[in-house]
Amino acid sequence: QAQLVESGGGLVQAGDSLRLACAASGRTFDSYVVGWFRQAQGKEREFLAAVTWSGGNTYYADSVKGRFTISRDNAKNTVYLQMNSLTPEDTAVYYCAADVILYSGIVYYAQSRSYRYWGQGTQVTVSS
């Protein structure tokens, strides 16, 4: 059973940056894909980015490409989401998720249903 714990959320001003962390434990993650999602109040969960644990291949939603960066630190079993130039529209609860996904590619990595393991979420609030 994999456990995921997000951290790094908070209240920031528009234009600021934040780095979220997703600490993973409970199993070996070599074959896993880790994704970041967010859910704003009253909206559906939205895919942001994903990384393959072993190869470090990264995938991004068009809406955050160039502004958000996903990375992983294998030694710390942690995946990060660096978020720059934040706007009030980025206000949401941010979740990380992980699983072994048999098929490769963003089509599969972007789907919430591809992941069995989820963190509890961390709130990001961006004021104008």
The CA-atom distances, in angstroms, between 90 and each of 19, 42, 121 are 13, 14, 14
| Residue 70 pLDDT exceeds 90 | yes
Q: What is the largest CA-CA distance in the chain?
A: 41
Q: Contact, 97 vs 29, CB < 8 A?
A: no
Q: What value, to the nearest 5°, has the Cα angle with vertex 83 and ends 95 and 99?
A: 35
| Residue 16 pLDDT exceeds 90 | yes
Average pLDDT taken over every residue of the chain: 96
Closest of 126, 79, 125 to residue 98, by C-alpha: 79
Place of tokens 């997703």: 22
Give every CB contact of residue 7 below 8 A, 6+ residues apart in sequence. 20, 21, 23, 122
List, for residues 75-86, the tens digit of each pLDDT value.
999 999 999 999
- pLDDT score for 41: 96
Please give the DSSP secondary-structure letter assigned to residue 30: T
| Residue 1 pLDDT exceeds 90 | no
- pLDDT score for 97: 97
Average pLDDT over residues 83-101: 97
- pLDDT score for 28: 81
- pLDDT tier for residue 113 given thresholds of 50, 70 and 90: very high
Closest of 118, 80, 86, 84 to residue 99, by C-alpha: 118
- pLDDT score for 27: 83
Please give the DSSP secondary-structure letter assigned to residue 105: S
List, for residues 43-67, the tens digit of each pLDDT value.
999 999 999 998 889 999 999 999 9
